[in-house]
Amino acid sequence: MKNKQFYDRLGFAASGISEAWRRERSFRTQVLFGLAAVALTIVLRPSLIWAAAVALSIALVLALELLNTAIECVIDHLHPETAPAIKLAKDIAAGAVLVASIGAACVGSLMIASVIWR
């Protein structure tokens, strides 16, 4: 799979996103939150720096959700039984998504505040 053409690699990435959408309710939920954030940003019309912060926050949350999904897939394949260390790894990966989501919510709140106080 190494050194494939860009178009092929793009297809692999799109396939991964598609599978995450199909398999993971959490990913679908995060995408919907992201779309809501985009809609709110369009309605509020904040400065470009705020719009960029929102876009980066959305991208970070979705990227971490994809990584969390990938980690869970590998762990479940290699070690399908329940074990304390496996649970811990999954919980930590989910925690990373939660931290990014809280950060994204803070960015959104600050953006709204900046528009209101403008």
pLDDT, tens digit, 9 for 90 and up, residues 3-28: 889 999 999 999 999 999 999 999 99
Q: pTM of the predicted model, to two decimals?
A: 0.92
Rounded Cα distance between 91 and 97, Å, is 10
Catalytic residue from among 19, 24, 65, 81 = 65
pLDDT in tens, 29-51: 999 999 999 999 999 999 999 99
Q: What is the pLDDT of residue 1?
A: 62
64, 106 Cβ separation under 8 angstroms: no
Tell me if residue 65 is catalytic. yes
The answer to whether the CB of 65 falls within 8 A of the CB of 28 is no
d(CA 73, CA 79): 10
